[in-house]
Amino acid sequence: MVSELTIQRPNDMHLHLRDGDMLKAVTPHTSADFGRAIIMPNLVPPVTRTDHARAYHQRIMAAVPKGHAFDPMMTLYLTETTDIDDLVNGVKEGLIKAVKLYPAGATTNSDSGVRDVTKIMPVLEKMAEINLPLLVHGEVTTHEIDIFDREKVFIETVLDPLRQALPDLRVVMEHITTKDGADYAAAGNENLAATITTHHLIINRNHILVGGIKPHYYCLPVAKREEHRLALRKAATSGDPRFFLGTDSAPHTTSTKENACGCAGIYSSLNTMSCLTEVFEQEKALDKLEAFASLNGAAFYGLAPNPQKMRLVKQQEPVSYPATIEVGNETVTTFDPGYPLHWRVENLD
């Protein structure tokens, strides 16, 4: 029985840090455990230009505690009026690492997103030319489509036609939640990858709805049936280089979660590596954890593994994480996997 595991320091390839007091409160939890993170651009207003990303990068670095080796990888929020020259300049500068496609209205702060894909084709063509990844929130938002079918329909009606039209475009299917998404990614070529969150490996839709509504398990894309959770676990623990960790850790204050119209998002940065190690142990795949958390995402972005290492140690007593963290005069509730965590994280030089 394995009781200790050493891996290269992991990367979070899909992360929300927000801004202001929230940014200052949550950034140290990520920078403590992760060497890099792909930073989501859905602020208010969104990060649509290189100068916005540069200023945001500076605010993030100001929130990183001294001694933490952390590289925030910046993205731009794709709109139907994205400036191609500005985007190219941001890439040449080395600042912009990807562009995020939000279908308008799909998730938090996505109202400025794309309504008509044909209007962004010139940008996508340039991205394919310069080898810049497109990160897609893969859901349709038309009212006649059931919320549990949004990902499947997006793949069929938007993503697959787009990839056929632009076969050289590198695409990351962000936070997949279905067997359909896992199967599509697994059947793709080297230009396609998919991130999987910590929480979608642990919860299904019963966790949200059975025994009363549980707002701290509500996220977008929403958790699906158990068959889909099991398919995600199979993909994550397979060692397939097309799958890698993107926590989609998305902090909201507790009061805005426990609300008549509660916000979508789960805050998992604080305990993700303990949670993930439990999952991989349950699946008898601890030998695949490093690939999923540390290697595959870096390789897709053409990066070397982080030089630092992380030790994960199994202990008899449960590891303790705070149920909430303070943000100004409010709190953010930490993701609760629903069972004790026994793997302790030790970051090594």
- Structural domain boundaries of the chain? 4-348
Q: Determine the pLDDT at residue 334.
A: 98
* Mean local confidence (pLDDT), 320-335: 97
Q: Cα-flanking dihedrals φ and ψ of residue 17, to 5°?
A: -110, -10
* Average pLDDT of the segment spanning 260-277: 97
- pLDDT tens readout for residues 229-268: 999 999 999 999 999 999 999 999 999 999 999 999 999 9
Within 153-213, strands assigned E span 171-173, 192-196
**Average pLDDT along the chain:** 96
pLDDT at 109: 63
349 is catalytic: no
**Residue 226 neighbours by CB distance under 10 Å:** 12
Look at residues 60, 62, 63, 61 and name the one whose alpha carbon lies nearest to residue 43. Answer: 60
Q: Which token pair is 165?
A: 């039209």
| From 12, 33, 180, 248, active-site residue | 248
Is residue 136 a contact partner of residue 246, using CB atoms and an 8 Å limit? no
Task: Average the pLDDT over 213-230 and give the result.
Answer: 98
Residue 251, Cα to own-chain centre: how many angstroms? 12
Owner of token pair 């889909």: 228
Global pTM reads 0.97
349 against 80, higher pLDDT: 80
Q: Band of the pLDDT at 78, cuts 50, 70, 90?
A: very high
Whether the pLDDT of residue 111 is over 80: the answer is no
Read off the amino acid at residue 169.
L
The C-alpha atoms of residue 95 and residue 20 are separated, in whole angstroms, by: 21
Is the distance from CB of 327 to CB of 263 less than 8 angstroms? Answer: no
On whether the CB atoms of residues 343 and 1 are closer than 8 A, the answer is no
- C-alpha–C-alpha distance, residues 108 and 113, integer Å: 11
Average pLDDT over residues 4-29: 98
Percentage with pLDDT > 70 across the chain = 98
Q: In terms of C-beta density within 10 A (0-12 exposed, 13-18 middle, 19 or more buried), how is residue 307 classed?
A: exposed
User: Is residue 112 predicted with pLDDT exceeding 80?
Assistant: no
At 181-202, the pLDDT tens digits run: 999 999 999 999 999 999 999 9
| pLDDT tens figures, 134-192 | 999 999 988 999 999 999 999 999 999 999 999 999 999 999 999 999 999 999 999 99
Whether residue 331 has pLDDT greater than 80: yes
Residue 191 pLDDT: 98
Q: Span 4-348: which CATH code?
A: 3.20.20.140
Picking from 155, 106, 162, 93, the residue whose alpha carbon sits closest to that of residue 134 is 162
**Surface-to-core class of residue 261, CB atoms within 10 Å of its CB (0-12 exposed, 13-18 middle, 19+ buried):** exposed
Q: Is 340 helix (H, G, I), strand (E, B) or coil?
A: coil
Query: Is residue 107 predicted with pLDDT exceeding 80?
Result: no
